[in-house]
Structure 1
Amino acid sequence: MVTIRRMNENVGMASPEPHPDLLAEAWRLQALGAETMNLGKPAEGAALLRQGLELVGWREREPFHAHPTVRHVTARLLNSLAYAESEQGRHLYGLRLLDLAEPLAADEHRGLILQQRGVVTWKAGRLEESLAWYLQAEPLMERHAPMSMLAIMLLNRSGLQAEIGRFKAARADLKRCIDLAVQHGLPVRLAQAWHSQGNVELYSANIPAALIAYDKALRGYAEHAPDLVPQVLLNKAHALIEVGLFREAARLLDSVIGDYGKSGRTWWALAIVHIHRARIALDLDSPEAALATARRTEEVAHQIGSSFSILHAERLRRQSQLRFGEVSKDFVDQLLRLADQTAAVGVPDDAVLVRTIAARALIRQSRLDAATEMLREPVSRQGFDRQHLPTLRRLARAELAEAEGNPSGALTQLRLGLNDLHRHRSRLGSVEMQAGMSSLGRELAQMGLRLAVDSGRFGTVFSWAERSRAQTFRSTPVRPPENEEAAELLARVRKARDDIREGELAGDDVTDLRAQCRQWEHRLREHSWHSTGSGESVPVVRLGQVHERLASGGQMMVSYVTDRGRLHALVLRDGRNYRVELGGEPEVAEAVRRLHADLTVLTGRRLPEPMTKVVRGSIRNQADRLAELLFRPLLPLLGDRELVIVPTQAMSSLPWGLLPPLSGRPVTVSPSASVWWSAAGRVVARGVGVLLASGPDLVHAERELSEIAGHHTGAEVLQGSDATPAMVLAGLDGVGLAHLAAHGYHEPENVLFSRLDFAGGPLMAYDIAALSRPPAQVTLSACDVGQSTNVTAGEESLGFTAALLHAGTGTVVSSVTKVEHGAAADVMTAYHAGLVAGVSPARALADASLRRPLSPFVCYGAG
């Protein structure tokens, strides 16, 4: 038994060699403390390391005289403790501990201390100094350090290289680290290497590759180091923010906060969690939330002593104040002080971002020369918000140009900013991510549309309306690569959805199954995030091109735009342009909401006749009100022309045929004029054959398909057990016309899983991307699947109908509300009779809908 006492109690005397058991215990505590820190527990690791220092007799403010073997273990304990203190935000104290450790270290351990200096100076924000320490450490560690420690050094240095912008060097370090981890059987280091790979790809703006790497790291951590899972979730949330998937990022951040709250730990990463939360609130235009979250972030950062986090949190608070009007007289001076402090901790581009905010404040104060000077600084995208900085710079330069009386120069800056975002969008394969990118340019788009409206030039307004909406549809569709895990998840989702439907019909409790299904759906969505875009895109259509195509079809267009809460109608007819100012968009949105609610009530359970009359009267009132708001000023221009309508988000799910001026009139609805023009140009002579398919539990399905089949000779008919999702998908691939009669469900919280029920499971919006050739025309005789959900803070919508249009289907006819199946069958049968007679889809639907005056079907796309 070893008596544990201070080894340094005979100061001034020759230091005896320590007992081997005591020395072994000190080394054990050092190894255990270091491993505990690597598992994400710096406070617990620090406590173990201090036990080791107490054991060897070291005290911080006392001379230390010990045998060389004791000095060496003390140096290692101090080296590890320096990291533990830095992890908790005490960077300067960590560097002081390294100063104390260095003279005690054995030659073979000096490389470890140098690399630890690299770590702590990096965390303190001194990036170039950190890299110099790593470069000094490398040859020493190659000669003396264990492979696990050399792998850690390569991991750390790769992250630093990426933050500085040296991506080639960062990837080289990681390749070497992965090779070491595989060769020497180091699973935690391998997971950490994938984690770092994700960070490198995030810094270089390759978000799909970053998410792939993060998911590999998550699997490795889950098996070998579960305490490290929150760290990779934090970085994954950052990647999602960079592409505007704010809701998903917020869910991850909430889970990280929950994990750390349960553990009782206070860690520097919590400040980063709050920083991301504040950024999300700022991007979602929530003034109270943005300010409150930024202030909370400052409190957390001060508690843990992280200078970087403190400065970043203050920047977010200042940015929120500037956007929402809380600006003091010394606001610019405070920002300049903050910029200097940010540069001092080694993050130069974050300092540029702060000065960009200051420039915007100067513009508001009409101090334009000073603002001009600030906006001349170069940008390398090395800061914390890599996409945010160049976008903000474009916005600031546009504001400066406007203040100088140069609106055309302002529009040029805004256009360049949106083009940059679109280039980034075109490299993303996920439709969700493409839609998310629009939110990052929302301020650019709003300012551009405001300047365009103020210019009074119709062509400028039209161009900016097109530039500002439905940007997702401009990206070339990407077919996701085949993946065994995704295929297995898809099979599980179909089975679960089918079991849920059967369980609900039987009156069973399906709560747990529904929760499990949601998890599988989320994992499927994450697989779609891994897809890379082609980089190709469709250009914004020109005004002359639209007029030419309208003339060839005898149509006119009404494109609605919103500026500062007011609606404007852009009317294109007979080669002439008209801009008509309407009322406020909120009133339209409320009328649409009420109309939806009334139609849903009417198609639910059977109502007493008096109640039915009341609801029908309310429907007529809302339809009349919408006609008044949207069309009364346009009536002299409409005549009896066929209409192409480009709605705003507030009216994207409006059943247009219910409005009196549009009853019996062919109407085509499209997300943008560019989408309509492109769809109308490619719909002719594409696709072969007719597919008719029905799902279960539809009383009139057999009659509906039988009557429609009578109009289409040689149609493929899938019913009963033959109408599986796989068979329907196979039939859809490249078909000329498809008619799908099935129960439909729009999922506003999970839009890619809006679905149609078929035998054995659902056909989902997610499935549409797998088609190698989209169908030319599709009719959806189902409830709700014409609806769309605005999935971002921008004007971008997703849903089943949108998925078909994005994939390249020319025309989709679908319902925007619930519809009684007997009514749907009547309308659809008449609709197909019209198609066979040779009329356009829009004309066929207008005529067929007269059979059921409250028909909520809408013709989308080319018409």
Structure 2
Amino acid sequence: MVFAAPGDALARAEALLAAGPPPLHASVAHQVIGIWQRDWGDLRIALHHLRRARDLAARADSAEREGDVLGTLGVALVHAGRTRQGLAAFERGVVRTTGHTRARVLFRRAYAWWVLGHHREALEDVRRAIPVLRQENDVIWTARALTLRATVHLALGAVDRAEADFTAAEALWDTTGQEHDKADAVESRGLAAFRSGDIPAALRLLAEAEQRYARLGTPTFMLDIRRCEVLMAAGLAPEALAEADAAIGELDGIGGQSTRKAELLLTAARAARLAGDPHTATARAAVAVRLFAAQRRTWWETHARLVLIEARHAAGRASGRLVADAAAVAGKLAASGAPAAPEAWLLAGRIALDLGRTADAERHLARAARSRHSGPPLARLTGWAAQALRARAAGSSRGVLEACRRGLDVLDDHRMTLGASELRARATAQGAELAALAQRASLEHGGPRRLLVWSERWRATALSAPPTRPPADPELLGDLTAFREIAARAEEARSEGRPVPALEREQRRLEREIRARTLHLRGDAPGGGDRFDAARLLARLGETRLVELAVVDGRVHVLLCGQGRVRRFTAGLLAEAEAEAEHVQAGLRRLAHPGAEARLPLVEAAGRRLEELLLGEAAGQLGSGALVVVPPGRLHRVPWALLPSLRERVVSVSPSASSWLRARETEPPPGGGHVLVRGPGLASGGAEVPELAGHYSDPTVLDEEHARVPRVLRELDGAALAHIAAHGTFRNDSPLFSALRMSDGPLIVHDFERLARSPYRLILSCCDTARFASVGADELLGLVTALLPLGTAGVVAASAPVNDAAVVPLMLALHKGLGAGLSLAEALRDARAALPDDAVHRATGWAFTAFGAA
């Protein structure tokens, strides 16, 4: 009963003890309390009750009862880190029991072997237990044994065998009322989905298991560990670190299992390393190593040592000793059949390369490279990374590029199984090293065109296909509506000076629900999209020039495309350009308010420095026609119109050359209308909207109460041109909750992603609508980038705060140009020139950028 209704079982056991039962019955009650405390409470209390249960069974002169309790006690002792005592308890339990009871003790010992990382011993005990349990028609314990055997198979990388056992166990669980065991089975299926490379299914199954556990009121430390593993694979390492640390705190608070604490520490160490925090990773991994060693868990200790070495290497350490340590860890992992062995060989090879020990590096990398042809996607990616490093060490640029191509193809296929644009973007981080190796090889041994091709190979790939949308998901629609209402109420309360903590908590809960539903979506786009074709780009450019900024080893290289060729120029350091761009942003924020005119010369000087750092000598080779700028993700906040050589030009910005090509070839929707939207609370009142209404025949105008999210979305879908005047907010912590404020609450990126087709042209006359979060290898998440895969060919938006009053004449002039048949970039250039020549209006013009090609 303790795994069917844990709370009820605990209450009944305590009530039975209060009634003064005979020793045999009291032994059962103490055992139930011990199990409850072992798995969901304080291990010290658990051990007290289990020892009492053992003594009472001996007093009742029941060898079978005593042996059964010894099996439960053995598990508790192992979880407490007292491995030798735990194994001794199992040995006595096996001796004291026969038949059916012995099979249960063997199952528990198999579980303990799995906890300890002794997988072959675990499989042997399960092999002995299952036939007996089946013969006794013990459905519950047979299902448990099959679930455990499947979990051990997963630890050894045998996904197919695990799936077969999980399927058999699930059929048995359906015939029982063991709710906790059922939840555990769902959790295990989530782990199997993850091991096979299906991240959306893993997240969905783990979320379902969490709901089942919540109904039972039991902690979920093992599920926390597994979810953190999935989050790390999905590129969400900071979230995994926060979740692991929170679970450690909760476990310490209840005096929980020492074994789980060690596993959580290992998880936190992995997450910290992937999040770019090697010092935290080192600290967590070192403690995990000590705990695993004390618990005699060699398999786990070896994995913790791998993370410890990775963290030390990430912190800049490299030595012959570190190479030897990594190789020793790799050998132990390979001997135990652990799927992580190729990672360890790759690490040993990397460190050896850093030290110039090419012979050692070749030996280790060759072993890592064996994984490139089989296994789940990320394991194959490890193999191709090793193969690329081998080729680089051998001086074969062709070999480097071939390995990088094959590895990125694997990641392409994996990435397109992800339905959520956020996961697609973050997944690219797994290919960052391969992309960098290919760019470096192209720079050293190829021409500018080859560097262009490889710069495009892994740039803004999340935009190559629309995210998967669930248009008929009523729960998602309900969550979005509730989120909007709560956010609107919180905004109103803030404006009135009322407290909002309860509203903010509910808003955060709804954000988690919405995000979880989108992350669970599986991708339906085959392959990685169209391959970039430099010849096609050059043919489509015509008189236009395209400048793609490639960053290799921290240096900006300018690839100037046009007139049938690609030329390369060397510019400044990316880090210096990023710092200068932040200075410019600060200056534009000041200039948005009257009285800051003295800042104007400083901002203009910063623009000149930015031009030197980003364009170098290419600035004098741009010709006189239109220009498309393709910057790396980390330079998305540069106001390109501020650069001296670009101020009088027609300039548009695109996340990639491929994105520009797709936008250039996007046709306007037949019969698309004009939509003008005015949100609440603007200082100017959105004064341009009523005037613009007279510029178009029969436009749809939504303002005041009519500017509600459902109506706005309905009108935007398939529009030829949309203009939205509304307050914009950017969420760096969660970019897809960046929003435009409507009368009924925020219109967020998740709303836009439900459009069948976003507007062909979109003008956002509000602050911060062109801000993005740079994630993955070179990806951007934000409002503008969400629209580009959905049919929007061109967007005008601001990357900095703007003066509401100064926006009005800029927008009127912009629409005048569009009415004369100009593109967005052409109309924006002319609109800037038509503004008054004062600091506020000039800063307002610089803040707006044309994106895309319409």
Scaled by the length of structure 2, what TM-score is found? 0.91
2:259 corresponds to which residue? Answer: 268
Cα gap change, 1:102 to 1:141, in 2 (>3 Å): same
- Counterpart of 1:728? 712
Distance 2:682 2:73 in 1: 69
Q: Of residues 841, 849, 854 in structure 1, which corresponds to 2:832?
A: 849
2:492 maps to 1:502: yes
SS in 2 for 1:437: helix
Deviates more, 1:32-41 or 1:710-719: 32-41
1:329-386 deviations in Å (ceiling 9; x for gaps): 3444333332333344x3333234323323334443021653465346446877xxx6
The answer on whether the counterparts of 2:30 and 2:53 sit within 8 Å (CA) in structure 1 is yes
- Which of these residues, 512, 520, 523, is aligned with residue 530 of structure 1? 520
1:772 aligned counterpart, secondary structure = coil
Aligned partners of 1:359 and 1:374 also within 8 Å? no
Alignment counterpart, residue 394 of structure 2, candidates 391, 395, 404:
404
Counterpart amino acid of residue 131 in structure 1: L
Kindly report which structure 2 residues correspond to 1:128-143, keeping only aligned pairs within 5 A, or say none.
Answer: 128-143=120-135
Match status 1:567 vs 2:556: yes
Which residue matches 2:618? 634
**2:576 matched to 1:576?**
no
* Closer, same or farther: CA 643–97 of 1 in aligned 2, 3 Å: same
Please state whether the residue corresponding to 1:396 is helix, strand or coil: helix
CA–CA distance in structure 2, aligned partners of residues 830 and 74 of structure 1: 88
CA-CA distance at 1:620 after TM superposition: 1.9
Q: What code does the residue aligned with 2:262 have?
A: A
What is the rounded CA distance, in whole Å, between the counterparts of 2:138 and 2:372 in structure 1? 40
Q: Note the alpha carbon deviations across 1:753-774, whole angstroms, 9 max, x for none.
A: 1000111111101111111222
Residue of structure 2 equivalent to 1:540 = 531
SS at match of 1:570: strand
Of all paired residues, the percent bearing the same amino acid is 28
Distance 1:336 1:762, change over 3 A: closer
Contact 1:283 1:440 in 2 (8 A): no
**Counterpart for residue 357 of structure 1:** 347
Structure 2: which amino acid aligns with 1:277? A
1:107, distance to aligned residue in structure 2 (A): 2.2
- 2:268 aligns to what SS in structure 1? helix
Matched, 1:444 2:446: no
Pair 23,291 (structure 1): closer, same or farther in 2 beyond 3 Å: closer
Q: What residue number does 2:194 align with?
A: 202
- For 1:458 and 1:729, how far apart are their aligned partners in 2? 43
Residues 500 and 513, structure 1, Cα contact 8 Å, conserved in 2: yes
Residue number in structure 1 paired with 2:737: 753
CA contact (8 A) 2:371 2:379 kept: no
Residue type of the alignment partner of 1:765: V
Which one of the candidate residues 186, 189, 212 is aligned to 2:204? 212
- CA shift, 1:593, in A, is 0.6
Cα RMSD (Å) of the superposition? 2.5
1:212 offset after TM fit, Å? 0.9
In structure 2, the CA distance between the partners of 1:376 and 1:438, relative to structure 1 (3 Å rule), is closer
Name the CA distance, whole Å, in 2 between partners of 1:145 and 1:73. 20
- Contact 1:39/1:225 (<8 A) preserved: no
Deviations 1:483-513 (A, max 9, x none): 3332222122101221122223223333442
Aligned position for 1:326:
317
**d(CA) in 2 for partners of 1:278, 1:460:** 38
The equivalent of 1:296 in structure 2 is 287
Contact 2:94–2:102 under 8 Å retained in 1: yes
Secondary structure in 2 aligned to 1:812? strand
Post-superposition Cα deviations, 1:137-178, rounded to whole Å, max 9, x if no partner, equal 223223437544333223322322333444454344434444
Per-residue CA deviations over 1:161-220 (Å, capped at 9, x if unaligned) read 333444454344434444444433222122112111111111111111111111111111
Contact 1:425-1:475 at 8 Å conserved across structures: no
Counterpart-to-counterpart distance in 2, 1:685 and 1:797: 26
Structure 1 residue matching 2:320: 3-state secondary structure: coil
Change (3 A) 1:706 1:580: same
Pair 1:36-2:32 in alignment: no
Question: By how many angstroms is 1:584 displaced?
Answer: 1.2
Counterpart residue type for residue 208 of structure 2: K
Instruction: Verify the 8 A CA contact 1:89 1:306 in the aligned structure 2.
Output: no
Aligned equivalents of 2:371, 2:772: Cα separation in 1: 41
User: How far does residue 56 in structure 1 lie from its aligned partner after superposition?
Assistant: 4.0
Query: Measured at CA, do residues 359 and 138 of structure 1 come closer, stay the same or move farther in structure 2, by a change above 3 Å?
Result: same
Q: Cα–Cα, structure 1 residues 260 and 303, in superposed 2: closer, same or farther, change >3 Å?
A: farther
Counterpart of 2:112, as a letter, is V
Contact 1:426/1:476, CA 8 A, preserved across alignment: no
**2:703 alignment counterpart:** 719
- Report Cα offsets for 1:571-593 as digits up to 9, x if no partner: 01211221110111122111111
Distance change in 2, residues 1:236/1:659 (3 Å): same
Change (3 A) 1:841 1:248: same
Tell me the distance in 1 between the aligned counterparts of 2:565 and 2:811: 36
- Whether 1:838 and 2:838 are equivalent positions in the alignment is no
Q: Which runs of 5+ in 1 are unaligned?
A: 1-18, 58-65
Deviates more, 1:366-375 or 1:396-405: 366-375
CA separation of 1:194 and 1:505: change in aligned 2, threshold 3 A: same
**Deviation of residue 542 (structure 1)?**
1.3
Of 403, 407, 430, which aligns to 1:417? Answer: 407
Q: Distance in 1 between matches of 2:681 and 2:372?
A: 60
Q: Report what 2:25 is aligned to.
A: 24
Residue equivalent to 2:243: 252
For 1:95 and 1:841, locate their aligned partners in 2 and report how far apart those are by CA, in whole Å: 74
Question: For 2:515 and 2:710, how far apart are their aligned partners in 1?
Answer: 19
Evaluate the alpha carbon distance shift between residue 132 and residue 567 of structure 1 in structure 2; reply closer, same or farther with a 3 A threshold.
same
What amino acid is aligned across from residue 782 of structure 1 in structure 2? C
The residue type equivalent to 1:846 in the other structure is R
Which letter does structure 2 place at the counterpart of 1:226? T
Query: Does 2:363 align with 1:370?
Result: yes
2:443 corresponds to: 453
AA partner of residue 46 (structure 1): L
Give distance in 2, aligned partners of 1:446 and 1:257: 36
**Secondary structure of the structure 1 residue equivalent to 2:215:** helix
CA contact (8 A) 1:689 1:737 kept: yes
* Partner amino acid, structure 2, of 1:777: R
Alpha-carbon distance in structure 2 between the residues aligned to 1:44 and 1:847 = 77
2:369·2:383 contact (CA, 8 Å) conserved in 1? Answer: no
- Partner residue of 2:649 out of 647, 665, 673: 665
Q: Which range is displaced more, 513-522 or 41-50?
A: 41-50
Hey, what does 1:599 align to over in structure 2? 588
Q: Post-superposition shift, 1:303?
A: 4.4
For residue 559 of structure 1, report the CA deviation from its aligned partner. Answer: 0.6
2:340 aligned counterpart, secondary structure = helix
Partner of 2:415: helix, strand, or coil? helix
For residue 590 of structure 1, the aligned residue among 579, 596, 602 is 579
